[in-house]
Amino acid sequence: MTSTFSTASLCQASALQISTIGCRHALFAELSRPWARRFGSENVESEDRAIFRSLNMAYQASIMPGGQEATFYDIGRLITLWVSAMEILIHPGPGGGAYKSGVKDLLDSAQRCDNGLKALAHPVPKNKNTTQDRTLASSIYFRIDALRSDFMHGNDVTVERLVTDNGTPLLHVGASLYRMAIATKIGVLPPVFEESRAGSVCLNSFGRFAKWISATDYAAAIIGVSALK
């Protein structure tokens, strides 16, 4: 299966054929709509601009360093990029600002199949004196954002702070958090189940549900497994 996108408005290039084999179809379908608006029109909405700037930042964050040139500081740089990608995603445009609470609100609103991941059961500092119950995803984001801040301001960062409770690198979990955030932001929603004439649920509904699971809850499952003991 292929989809055609025209990038002529950007660089006078011809239409581009993109293969969708192996992609997450529900995520691809929802991203194709802001893509068409962003690159097919001279008038660009702030939200569409933010989505693709965020995706570009996430792409850079996903390029893992390797070989002898990789250093401890690369971890801080990539963590910073993942946090920035999520902050760009929720930025309201000119005159507004991206706040940590906005990212956490987005992650908390993500639709999941696991009730444990939906639960607002994790106290996350709201300010110096109070906490707010958030989802597991938000609590992990708080830890990653704190790491970003310490790296950027030259504070000491120990190896123990770079992993979750069971030893999974927080850098790896950052990608899952972003997957959850982008899917929620662009509205990858579970399908509505339809009934056939015989009264049973249509097989097509199950197919659409499976595609939604692959585009959204896959990331949530990784977060749950990697963060819990």
| Confidence band of 11 (pLDDT split at 50, 70, 90) | very low
Whether the predicted pLDDT of 85 surpasses 90: yes
| Confidence band of 79 (pLDDT split at 50, 70, 90) | very high
pTM of the model: 0.76
Q: What is the pLDDT of residues 92-107, one digit of tens each?
A: 777 776 688 999 999 9
Domain count, the chain: 1
Enumerate the H helices of 24-169 as residue ranges.
25-39, 46-61, 72-89, 100-108, 115-118, 136-152
Contacts of 7 (CB under 8 A, 6+ apart): 13, 15, 16, 39
Q: What is the pLDDT of residue 39?
A: 82
Q: What is the pLDDT of residue 195?
A: 54
Inter-residue contact 147 to 162 (CB < 8 Å): yes
Domain of 8? 2-227
Inter-residue contact 84 to 99 (CB < 8 Å): no
CA distance 132 to 112: 20
- Mean pLDDT, rounded, for 194-206: 50
Inter-residue contact 109 to 138 (CB < 8 Å): no
Instruction: Please name the amino acid found at residue 66.
Output: G
- Mean pLDDT, rounded, for 52-67: 88
Instruction: Please name the amino acid found at residue 149.
Output: S
Say whether 2 sits in a helix, a strand or coil: strand
- Mean pLDDT, rounded, for 183-206: 61
Whether the predicted pLDDT of 218 surpasses 70: no
CA distance 55 to 36: 15
CA distance 62 to 107: 20
Instruction: Tell me phi and psi for residue 135, to 5 degrees.
Output: -75, 170
Say whether 192 sits in a helix, a strand or coil: coil
CA distance 100 to 86: 9
